[in-house]
Amino acid sequence: MEEINNSENAEYEIKIFQIDKSFYEFKKHNLQNNEQIINYIINEHRIKVKDIENYNKKIVPVLIDGVDYFTYVYNEEEKDAFWKKFIPESLSNNLVFKVQQLSFAMFASVEDNIYAIVGGGGSRVIIRFQNHRFGLDFFEFITDLNEDVISIETRGISGKLTKRKDIFKDGLKLVDILNFTNIPSKINIVLKQEIKDSVFDFIEFENRITTIEIGSYFNIKHRIPFKSLHLLFKKINEISKSETKKSLTSFVEVKDKGVISSIYREELLLQLYENMMDLFSAARGQAPKKLDIEFVHPSKIQEFYEAEFYIFKFKGTRKGHHFQNRKSLYYDGLKLVYESLENLNLIEFKKVISGLHLYGMRKKDFITHAMFLDHIVCEINVENRPIFQIDAKWFKVENNFTNTINEICSRMIDNNYLNSGIITEKWDDTEDEDAYNRKYHLQNNYWVLDKAIGQNIELCDIMYEDDNTIYFIHVKNGFDAKIRDLSNQIQISASRFMNERNSGSEDFILSIIDAYNSKDVNLDKLIDKDSFKAKFKTGGKNIQFVMAFKSELKRIPQIKNNVDKVQSNIAKYSLIQCVREMNMLTFPIKIVEIEKL
């Protein structure tokens, strides 16, 4: 066993990563131990950089005080620096512009865990195999949530539209800014003295403020020697065995591929199969069971909404099936699967639907692409616990989730309820959204802008104006997963309107007017461009966005005051997130429930 002996005694600020040993390729290749996994990762990088000479050359570990270290260094070929291409040849003649990049990765195998540090281009060695929430996961073992926060980056569980970074003033505690509908992706905080003394007592911090950055890595922003790094590996490994931790979010991503494929995905596929049979089979009933599903691209939400048309393609085929109505894509895709099945059994259904691709198109360009199944946002019940597929990932929730979400959602509806008599028409159950919206067409101070698309975006379904305020009303039939779709529509519309207003441009509003005036159903109430666009000048009337919905639930005719009886948690947290995001956009939102006829 080697000893720690470093005559230079250099100190560096280090980011520590962890390898995700559940990564599917490790199981696929039957890798049995840490040494095999590490050498596999290194060989994959050698393939990437075409280092054929050293392919399969085994890295032998060096044991130091209970930790096996594997050091990998690769010097990439020399190439001209970009400056040589930038300046004229007359200025670069006879000058050497060659650069060589070092790729360095050191792996530390501690008992069952693999940690890593990287330098130069070394991040490319491990990025595919790392635990992308390691720093956050580890921090949950040592925090009491009372640390001072410097900044936090989060993504909303209700959509990538809500990805954001916030920077805070001194004195704001972590517990004050955590949002149970958000998942933190990176946090910068002040390291408390108690943690310095109890957890990292082997590091000489001196008497100054130290910060840490946690995300996919754990980074103490303080220079340390190798000896301290070695002890840090051992300390992290020791603490990670604890069963006590403070969660940073109510949502916990499920990473066990076995659980996902054998339990969650199988349950989802079964529900989709039953839904397909309820909708299209000859034995279907008159009132097929509704599946609470929202359908949207897992990462490019805004591009998905702005696509001009969509193409379905089955695996191994060139033929594409074109559709334009974004709102019916789930139905259309399921129907395509049904019509392609030779045998209406579950086994063939799983095979066919798992190979269905969906492309979002703008003219001839692909602007989105993902599998049909990855577009599905849903909540399923497994062992009496809600499990969510959102953005192609699976999440479970903490035990107090249901009570918390009911309380906050109910409070937000009450606090933001639109009490003025603007939405006055009752909704007949036989009417669809289009028919309901048209009820306001000839009423004074109302404009039905439903389907009036400007730059591939709807401003709203109904616009209403009084002496002080312009209301952009977005309407949805149902309080279920469709509320997530409604929330996304509102945020996209508000963001586009705000950007247009701030820039002084009128293109978006003018395109809405053109789309409205081009429809035959609006010929009896055309919009005058000059007077209409003047309504939205900065400094004019207040702008108010409105989320309007009607309950489709027979046993719950009114959502307000009955949130705890609603099963769709997706609807609840989407409403919560929409209210919070709209407040950040400086356009407060009101909520109103449409009365049934």
Dihedral sign computed on CA atoms, order 259, 260, 261, 262: positive
Least confident of 171-185, 304-318, 397-411: 171-185
Neighbouring CB atoms inside 10 A of 183's CB total 21
Tens digits of residue pLDDT in 370-405:
999 999 988 888 888 889 898 888 988 876 778 888
Contacts of 597 (CB under 8 A, 6+ apart): 426, 427, 428, 429
Q: Do 107 and 274 contact (CB within 8 A), yes or no?
A: no
Overall average pLDDT of the 536-554 stretch: 87
Q: Whose CA is closest to 544, among 470, 448, 459, 468?
A: 470
Task: Give, in order, the Cα–Cα distances in Å from 308 to each of 358, 360, 370, 457, 511.
Answer: 13, 8, 17, 10, 15
Q: What is the pLDDT of residues 12-40, one digit of tens each?
A: 999 999 999 988 899 889 999 999 999 99
Rounded Cα distance between 183 and 154, Å, is 5
The encoded tokens of residue 134 equal 């390691």
For residue 155, the SS3 value is strand
Residue 333 has a pLDDT of: 97
Closest CA to 69 of 33, 114, 104: 114
- pLDDT (mean) for 162-191: 77
pLDDT at position 337 over 70: yes
What pLDDT is recorded for position 287?
67
Does the pTM exceed 0.75?
no
Longest dimension (CA), the chain: 89
Q: Give pLDDT tens digits for 473-486.
A: 999 998 988 898 89
DSSP structure string for 294-316: EE--SS-HHHHHH-SEEEEEETT
Give percent above pLDDT 70 in the chain.
94
- Residue 161, pLDDT > 60, answer no
How far is the C-alpha of 575 from the C-alpha of 416, rounded, in Å?
11
CB neighbourhood size of 425 (10 A): 16
pLDDT score for 86: 74
Interacting residues of 72 by C-beta distance below 8 A, sequence separation 6+ = 42, 45, 59, 103, 104, 105, 106, 107, 125
The whole-number pLDDT of residue 399 equals: 64
As given in the structure block, the two tokens for residue 198 are 């109890």
pLDDT digits (tens, 9 = 90+) for 272-300: 999 999 999 887 766 667 777 889 998 88
Model confidence at 76: pLDDT above 80: no
Strands of 385-390's sheet in order across? 251-253, 393-397, 385-390, 376-382, 293-295
Neighbours of 405 (CB within 10 A): 22
From residue 175, give the alpha-carbon distance in Å to each of 56, 143, 146, 165, 219.
48, 10, 6, 17, 21
Cβ count within 10 A of residue 195: 17
Domain boundaries, the chain: 20-129, 131-249, 257-396, 401-593
- In this prediction, residue 549 carries a pLDDT of 94
| CB-based contact 486:594 (threshold 8 Å) | no
Cα separation, 188 vs 145, in Å, equals 13
Dig out the tokens for 469 from the structure: 């305020």
User: CA end-to-end span of the chain, whole Å?
Assistant: 81
